Amino acid sequence: MRILKNVRELLSATRQRMRPSAPAQGLLEFALALPVLLLLVFGVIEFGRIMQAWLALENGARFGIRFAITGDYNPDYCDDAIVALTQPGAVFASVGRTQLENLDRADGRIDCMVPDKINGNPVENWDEYTSALQDWARLPSIRDAALAGATGIAWENDAAISGDYLAYLTFPQSTFSQNYRGNPAAPGYLNVMICSSRDSGFFVEGPPQDPHYYDNVVSNDHLFPMVCVDNRGANKRYIDDAGGPGDRVRIILTYRHTLITPFLSSWWPTLRLNSSREGLVEKFRTSRVTGLTGGIAMAPTRTPTPPTPPTFTPTP
């Protein structure tokens, strides 16, 4: 009995000595496990954020290319097209903004369509005016469609970060520069590039090592991934182009995603994500009609002069 009593006293004394150290031991174990737990939790969240941003870019590229191949445009950009195409150095600089605006307004509204006749008098180069105005208006319209599809990404709609696309298209593109294209190193940067194979003169090029390539940003660590270059003139220049009927058009979205994972974000604060789609521009200026049976037949198209006698004229 005495031995059993001594064992009980020894166990009781041991418990009393161990009891004060138990809370400190649990706190130490929690402190050691907390960083690993946080990394796992934030890693799952980070992976979900990256996946969501990438899927949004993919969806934006799909929206943009589906709109681009139709040849459609938003008539609200026709006023901007007139300004851009009549500024000094532009293709219709000699025509003048007022004259081109009056030609476009001859049918009652600004819609990037110059009629072939005004008050019975034929309009010279009406088709060139119409094509140029519509081609310009298509670019911001395609960009809007791409941004609508990319809804959900936290991009910065700030000219200093993501640029001013209308100003970029309006800016005289006589020099090899990327003015108004924003800061590709800034978190939340979003860029939409539109390029085509028109006349084999437009092509996609990687970033050059030209300090004037940036708008007040010089950093080889955060280059634009690729740009559309017009090589048709004596000097190549940066300018987007959506192509014409039968041309291939490519939409490229670039987004600088901000990371939030502790420790990782301190030395890797952002991640550049890209998405692109390519398609064949429909021959939208040639209308065709199909029926439930039979082959494809040509539909009537807008003809500068009415036929005599006034009968249906199937023109290609």
**pLDDT, averaged across the chain:** 80
* Total-model pTM: 0.77
Percent of the chain with pLDDT over 90: 39
Q: What integer is the mean pLDDT of 259-263?
A: 83
Tell me: pLDDT of 240 over 80: yes
pLDDT of residue 209: 46
CA distance 138 to 93: 20
pLDDT of residue 139: 96
Min mean pLDDT across 172-181, 211-220, 270-279 is at: 211-220
Residue type, 112: C
Residue type, 88: P
- Closest by CA to 58, choosing from 204, 226, 274, is 274
Percent of the chain with pLDDT over 70: 74
Going by pLDDT thresholds of 50, 70 and 90, the confidence category of residue 27 is confident
pLDDT of residue 228: 86
CA distance 307 to 298: 17
Q: How far is CA 83 from the centre of its chain?
A: 23
pLDDT of residue 296: 45
- What does DSSP assign to residue 21? G
SS3 193: strand
Tell me: pLDDT of 279 over 60: yes
Tell me: pLDDT of 174 over 70: no
- Closest by CA to 278, choosing from 252, 250, 241, is 250
Asked whether the bond before 269 is cis by omega within 30 degrees of 0, the reply is no
Map 66-133 to HEC letters: HHHCCCCCCHHHHHHHHHHHHCCCCCCCCCCHHHHHHHHHHHCCCCCCCCCEECCEECCCHHHHHHHH
The model's pLDDT over 114-170, given as tens digits with 9 standing for 90+, comes to: 999 888 889 899 999 999 999 999 999 999 999 999 998 989 999 888 989 998 888
Task: Identify which has the larger pLDDT, 296 or 147.
Answer: 147
pLDDT of residue 136: 95
Min mean pLDDT across 38-42, 56-60, 93-97, 217-221 is at: 217-221
Determine phi and psi for 67, rounding to 5 degrees.
-75, -40
DSSP per position, 219-248: -TTS--S-EEEE-SSSS-EE------TT-E
User: Do residues 156 and 215 make contact, with C-beta atoms less than 8 angstroms apart?
Assistant: no
Task: Identify which has the larger pLDDT, 194 or 30.
Answer: 194
Beta bridge partners of 249: 196, 279
CA distance 273 to 56: 11
pLDDT of residue 5: 63
